[in-house]
């Protein structure tokens, strides 16, 4: 049984929406989870502790593509699945190419990428209505966006880096759920897990140009100049704007309140590490049909 050691009460932050979730510990294994009113869906984001990896990947790196020893990564994934009571044969993981591709997956995709490469190619977002299928992704600062439609019983997992965010991947994923499952956006809950915050995300001219069309949207800009004249990007706010544009209700978009670059004691951060680090795992599933 997991032990809660730090919890976040729900509140509303300026520009960022409601914040909720809980950090849990199983021995050295630490993870963030969100528990909606209904118990049918699982939402998890793993921390960096409790695994077998060493060096810059210490210790629970879940990514094969970062230069870590493959055997250690495989053992780490098995550890995570065991702690979360998930079967590798139920998991599907996307390749994540920092694009805006969305794939509809079902039981035919179960097991793809769960314990090794190849992963589902050329997509950064997965959606499904298959009970028991676990959607997985790998993160070290990019925004994990979890979607849950409690009416149609459909879910989604989005890997939203700056390129995907600029291209509106969050809104695209909602649109795919609307067309495929009959989802009504106003029914959906969107959860944004731990990710780099504007406090730590200084960006260059290429990113500024990509987000310039969003600068004037809403009361709070997605980019601001800091005291040194450098641009800082709020990826969570940008994704929230896309979700609102897709028809989600403001009160049904929540976040973790955790910056991965500030909290390298808990999570991997590509920006804080200088680019050489491991990856945390995001997982979401519909409980019905799980073994």
Query: What CATH number should be reported for the domain holding residue 157?
Result: 3.60.140.10
Strand partners for 12: 18
Split into its structural domains, the chain has a count of 1
Mention every residue, 6+ apart, whose C-beta is less than 8 A from residue 234.
15, 16, 197, 198, 201, 220, 222, 223, 224
User: Which H or E run includes 20?
Assistant: strand 17-26
**Spatial distance between the Cα atoms of 23 and 16, rounded to a whole number of angstroms:** 20
Q: What is the mean pLDDT of the chain?
A: 91
pLDDT score for 4: 36
pLDDT score for 213: 78
pLDDT score for 3: 38
pLDDT score for 289: 55
Q: Is residue 291 situated within a structural domain? A: no
Q: Is residue 98 situated within a structural domain? A: yes
CB 269 within 8 A of CB 140: yes
**Spatial distance between the Cα atoms of 248 and 123, rounded to a whole number of angstroms:** 23
pLDDT score for 20: 81
pLDDT score for 38: 61
pTM for the full predicted model: 0.93
**Spatial distance between the Cα atoms of 31 and 50, rounded to a whole number of angstroms:** 10
pLDDT score for 260: 98
Domain of residue 146 covers 3-286
| DSSP type of residue 285 | E
Show the low-confidence residues of the chain (pLDDT under 70): 1-17, 36-39, 215-219, 289-291
């Amino acid at each position: 049984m997991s032990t809660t050691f730090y919890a976040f009460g729900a509140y509303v932050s300026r520009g960022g929406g409601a914040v909720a979730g809980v950090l849990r510990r199983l021995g050295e294994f630490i993870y963030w989870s969100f528990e909606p009113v209904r118990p049918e869906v699982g939402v998890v984001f793993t921390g960096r502790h409790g695994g077998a990896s060493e060096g810059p990947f210490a210790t629970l790196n879940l990514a094969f593509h970062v230069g870590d020893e493959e055997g250690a990564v495989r053992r780490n994934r098995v550890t995570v699945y065991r702690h979360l009571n998930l079967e590798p044969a139920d998991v599907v993981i996307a390749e994540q190419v920092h694009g805006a591709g969305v794939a509809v997956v079902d039981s035919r995709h179960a097991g793809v990428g769960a314990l090794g490469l190849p992963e589902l190619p050329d997509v950064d977002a997965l959606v499904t209505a298959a009970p028991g299928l676990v959607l997985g992704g790998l993160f070290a600062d990019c925004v994990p966006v979890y979607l849950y439609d409690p009416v149609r019983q459909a879910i989604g997992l989005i890997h939203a880096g700056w390129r995907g965010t600029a291209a509106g991947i969050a809104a695209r994923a909602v649109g795919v759920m609307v067309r495929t499952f009959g989802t009504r956006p106003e029914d959906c809950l969107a959860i944004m897990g731990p990710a780099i915050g504007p406090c730590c995300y200084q960006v260059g001219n290429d990113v500024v140009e990509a987000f310039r069309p969003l600068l004037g949207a809403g009361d709070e800009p997605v980019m601001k100049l800091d005291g040194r004249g450098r641009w800082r990007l709020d990826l969570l706010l940008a994704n929230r704007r896309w979700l609102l544009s897709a028809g989600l209700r403001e009160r049904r978009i929540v976040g973790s309140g955790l910056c991965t670059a500030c909290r390298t004691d808990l999570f991997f951060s590509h920006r804080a590490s200088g680019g050489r680090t491991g990856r945390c795992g995001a997982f979401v599933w519909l409980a019905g049909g799980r073994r």
